[in-house]
Amino acid sequence: MRFIDWIVLSIVGIGSILISSDRPVAAQPAVAGNARDVQMRVVKIYGAGGIQGLEAYQSGFIVSPEGHIATAWSYVLDVEPIVVLDDGRRFESKIVGIEPSLELAVLKVDASDLPYFEVDKELRAQWGDPILAVSNLFGIAAGNEPASVMQGIVAGITNLDARRGTFKTPYRGKVLILDLIANNPGAAGGAVVDSDGRLVGMLGKELRDSGTGVWLNYALPIDALRVAIGDIIAGRATTAPKDDNPVLNRDQSHNLETLGLVLVPNVLESTPVYIDAVVPGTPAAKAKLRPDDLILLLDGQRVGDQKTLVELLRRIDRRDAVSITVQRDNDVLPVRLQP
């Protein structure tokens, strides 16, 4: 008998033993049955991108019947994004709040009575739990096509801070390590649900080990995002611009010169607020701001581009201190500029 024939017969024999055994076989929990309900709560988001290989789309999920949508905070949101619901309806959205340290953003569309995930209840995923990851993977869904669904398990729970300096992200909390290839282009902001279709996490942005090139498939647990989402929806932590402060005369208000900031050339329609230089002896220099710092918030309000920064500064008396939040490499830092 040839060796290969012996292998085949052995496999068949083992299979016969398994089939003839009268021991009960435990069935895997059925999670696919909840897929359609989950897809109805996941949206497609289209915004900035399209250059240098940057995709102009990502995913999100509805967290209130009034049209609040949680998603990953990213360059895609450098413009007010378009949101496409599961039924194909398209809406212009507004960014009502961001939490940079959690890489979280909450959008709002003008819609009501939408299917949504409840995020006000404590729910923790455990190692080995079966899960579904639902997102606009690779931008396959553009209209009323359902979002992509992947089935897997939670392979582990770890603290991403232990990977600091390896995976570049400002997030420093616990993550769910997923046993599925989930973190691909367009997946960021997608929903991760358990076997009952309950939300347990949000798919993060693509992360790759800078040393080995290994990609990390992970999700941020919903417990880490719950409070921030609730505060933003309730208006307690909104970063939307406030219109109640009057515009001051230029000789009364702050501007880039009074703070000592020089920004990168404003050559795009929405040029990000990167610092190009800091003037010595100015409030910016005393606050130890650096070139390449990215300004995210000004007095708690989102700064999406250089035009917005200039307009917000016109509403602040130059005798008052200015609080900003910057991203420096992988850190999100609060800074106070004292005139």
pLDDT for 17-34, tens place per residue?
Answer: 233 334 343 444 455 567
- Give this prediction's pTM: 0.79
Give residue-wise pLDDT tens across range 91-128.
Answer: 999 999 999 889 999 999 999 999 999 987 777 788 88
What is the rounded CA–CA span in Å between residue 60 and residue 72? 7
On average, the pLDDT of the chain sits at: 83
Please state which of the ranges 20-24, 240-244, 272-276 shows the lowest mean pLDDT: 20-24
pLDDT in tens, 126-172: 888 999 999 998 888 888 899 999 999 999 888 876 445 555 677 88
pLDDT value of residue 241 = 67
* 3-class SS string, 131-184: EEEEECHHHCCCCCCCCEEEEEEEEEEEEHHHHCCCCCCCCCCEEEEECCCCCC
Where do the domains of the chain lie, and which CATH numbers do they carry?
A: 32-233 (2.40.10.120), 256-337 (2.30.42.10)
Q: Write 211-217 long-range contacts (CB < 8 A, 24+).
A: 211/166, 215/183, 216/163, 216/167, 216/177, 216/183, 217/177, 217/178, 217/179, 217/180, 217/181, 217/182, 217/183
How far, in Å, CA of 186 to CA of 204, rounded?
A: 10
CA-based nearest residue to 317, from 242, 241, 249: 249
